[in-house]
A and B are shown apart, each in its own frame.
Chain A
Amino acid sequence: MIISSERPERWDESTSFGNMSEADLDRLLSLSPFKEIKPDAFPKRLPLRGILQHDTRLRKYSRGEIVVRQGDHGTSAFMIISGEVRVVLQPELPASILGRKDTVRRSLFRSLTQLWSNSKNPETRQPHELSLGDEVASRQADGGEVRVVLQDVPRVLDRHQTAVIEAGEFFGEISALGRIPRTATVFCEKDAELLEIRWQGLRDLMRHDKNLRQRIDQIYRERALASHLLTLPLFNALPPEKLEKVIASAEFLTFGEYDWSGDYKRMVKSGSANASDKEPVVVQEGDYVNGLVLVRAGFARLSRKFGRGQRTLNYLGAGQHYGLQEIAHNWRKKNSTVPFQNTLTAIGYSHVIVIPTAIIEELVLPAMPVAQLPPLVETTAQAGDSTTGAMDADMMEFLAEHRFFNGTATMLIDLDQCTRCDDCVRACAATHNNNPRFLRHGPINGNIMIANACMHCSDPVCMIGCPTGAIHRQTFEGEVVINQATCIGCQTCANNCPYEAIRMVEVRDKKGRLLVDKDMKSILKATKCDLCVEQFGGPACQRACPHDALVRMNMGSLDHFAQWLK
């Protein structure tokens, strides 16, 4: 007799996340809010107990341990089971406490000192570069996880305004669901037991429990949505009462897989990275225009039927939207309405906000000057809210297939100009410990090569899971850099990076001797392009190219790319 398993696939792949024993589960289900959740509301294949077993884990934190750091990209939310934690309000904790490094651009004199101070050996580190400082330490928790510990909690409490989060309360849910950086740092003042809920579990709990959904939706609307909408030109001129109406009507949807990096690597290996037909559909071409789709996080592909497949027209990143042209057309031409002209699919992962058509028609369109209204659908050659300029379809498919639109500083090389002189590689090595941080090699489309260099992604999956916060953004939405002092060589970032732009290196002292730990194993550090944040004058690779063949470009704007291609 064959017995088929009813367990969902994602639990098969991810049993390592949950660590719940039956006794733990019973205890959890006796606590609020889980005791109020009705198990009957959950489908048989996705029971409440199953979600808690596979998508949550209990974690014990000791005094001073940092739970989440401001600016980190986290994939899970937390609920306090016992004890309490503190969230830092203001002023923010300094970078050194968060395991990061305040990078300062070198002065002219410091640039000059490199003439004689640069080591001749590769990957050398000075003692001060590897020193943690006396404000923090690292500690190995149960299970081998490394945690950063604040050495002087009273001092932190004295100098920074904090708030207490008590047992039964959630934190980190906005970041987990919206894939946006953590907005504050949370640490333990006393020993505490926390329940970590990964985003898939939180999503399913919200889907089947109305109270939890309302509670988190409310937090989302209050804390995240208003500030996000105000950053968009479409809404920032609306008076507060109208904006409140927009916020109240908004619907949040998540498509695809949060940890798309692993999926993408598997797809590349199997040769199906461009399988747009497998991408979750956000909006279908030909469907009734039910709302304006705002991409809050992740990426979406805009495509149109062509032959038996879909031809990519554009891709949308965070802050971009689709559907306004169709809504505006229908609003102006009530007798000749049109459906969605294109299909919008999630590439990897997309978190979108849908504002109903009626709200746009009532509040947004009347407030827009006529000149700013999008053109009627019939009058444009390319439907969609973004134009692709001079980009040909082939290049668009290439960018989407390799997901290069993620880069804010993608290294592009025009092979028609590049003499393969490697001045860029040598310049990189000269400015980075005699070891270039990129390979002058990579996927090619026509005469354009996208070199294997860190692109400083707008969705930096490498930052997910760094145990010490060593990999971080230099500034808000700035360069992604690695603090060598707090990097423990765990390779999490290197394994996460879908573009394989992070390399692990064995570090040496100034005399070229390998540095080893107490077990006589080489000390590994993660290295990658840092966009020469410390250097005077910007990226050395671009500055070193004599033939104007190499540029670092933000692929979020295809217009710039199209212009450069001319």
Chain B
Amino acid sequence: MRISRKTQWAVRLFFFVLASVLLALWFKENIAALPRATYLTGWLLLTLMVILTVYNGRKKIPFLPLATSKGWLQFHIYAGFFTLLLFVAHIRFRAPTGWFEGSLALLYALVMGSGILGLILSRTFPKRLTTRGGEVIFETIPVVRRSFRERAEALALQSIPEAKASTVADFYAQELAGFFSGPRHFWQHLFEVRSPLNRLLKKIENLNRFLNDQERDVMRQIADLVRQKDGLDYHHSLQLTLKLWLFAHIPLTYSLLIFSVVHVVLVYAFSGGAR
């Protein structure tokens, strides 16, 4: 019998938390009192951080037999959380002092925070994208958007000679041209707020009372395009966020590593072998 992925995840998380608690208790009882405990936790932390950083390098050389990316990510998540335990033990459960220590701690917090954010995004956004439908490759979004805009513009222009009035074209120019010209409502899509789309559709509905049958038909087609464009913007917002968080996580990680190496040099330069 195969256990579902959700159950596997829950079981793994349970054992990880249990192991962490036991390890923390054991550490407090046996290691914290040792004279060089900070060195031990520090080196362990640095080693883990280096291994965690190497994951990005592994992605660039898929032809080497370096285990699966899935395995690396699992390790990355659990070892990442484990560094939190090590970090807290390393700073001896106290607030950092001095600008360098403070910067180092802040960098660690940012890396850890961006990592947790990425984990949440990667566990929640895919389902939202699938539920919304209209799957599209991110790189092709501008092309699809342009085709929507061209179709909408053609419909608006087409209505002028047919209805002998520019009501639809004017409405398009005032209310919809901006909407079709680029990605819109980034944050609203991110937080699943539908009001911008509803507002636009309401405006289209209000306009209908001033249109004849031909124009209403054109407007109905434009409304369809508005919905499709809104779906495209939704994919753009979520897919872009899924890509962008890594642009924060990775540079912060390298910065943290550099600061950590400097920290090690400073420690060995000025501690005089104490503790």
Nearest Cβ distance between residue B268 and chain A, in whole angstroms? 34
Residue B127 CB within 8 A of the other chain: yes
A440 closest partner in B (C-beta):
B137
Chain A stretch 238-268: residues in CB contact (< 8 A) with chain B: none
Nearest Cβ distance between residue B55 and chain A, in whole angstroms? 9
Residue A115 CB within 8 A of the other chain: yes
Residue A536 CB within 8 A of the other chain: yes
* A441 with B69: CB separation less than 8 A: no
- Contact A423 to B135, CB < 8 A, known contacts A111-B64, A416-B130, A540-B63: no
Contact size range, B: 20 to 34
Candidates B69, B121, B243; contact of A544 at CB < 8 Å? B69
Nearest Cβ distance between residue B159 and chain A, in whole angstroms? 30
Q: How far is the CA of A545 from the CA of B59 in the complex (A)?
A: 10
* B239 with A420: CB separation less than 8 A: yes
Q: CB-CB < 8 A to B70: which residues of A?
A: 545-548
* A114 with B63: CB separation less than 8 A: yes
Chain B 238-253, CB-CB to A under 8 Å as 1, else 0, gives 0100110000000000
* B2 with A566: CB separation less than 8 A: yes
Q: How far is the CA of A426 from the CA of B243 in the complex (A)?
A: 14
Q: CB-CB < 8 A to B127: which residues of A?
A: 416, 447
Q: CB-CB < 8 A to B39: which residues of A?
A: none
* A419 with B2: CB separation less than 8 A: no
Residue A449 CB within 8 A of the other chain: yes
Q: CB-CB < 8 A to A566: which residues of B?
A: 2, 4-5
Residue B51 CB within 8 A of the other chain: no
* B63 with A431: CB separation less than 8 A: yes
Nearest Cβ distance between residue A52 and chain B, in whole angstroms? 52
Candidates A112, A422, A427; contact of B62 at CB < 8 Å? A427
Of listed B69, B121, B125, B243, residue having the most chain A CB within 10 A: B69
Of listed A422, A449, A535, A543, residue having the most chain B CB within 10 A: A543
* B126 with A540: CB separation less than 8 A: no
Nearest Cβ distance between residue A104 and chain B, in whole angstroms? 15
Candidates B5, B73, B126, B138; contact of A415 at CB < 8 Å? B126
Binding site for B on A (CB under 8 A): 108, 111-112, 114-115, 415-423, 426-427, 430-431, 439-441, 444, 447, 449, 535-537, 540, 542-549, 563, 566
- What are 25 A-to-B residue pairs whose CB atoms are below 8 Å? A111-B64, A111-B65, A112-B64, A114-B64, A416-B126, A418-B126, A419-B121, A419-B126, A421-B242, A426-B59, A430-B62, A430-B63, A431-B62, A440-B137, A441-B135, A447-B127, A536-B63, A540-B62, A546-B70, A546-B73, A547-B73, A547-B122, A547-B126, A566-B2, A566-B5
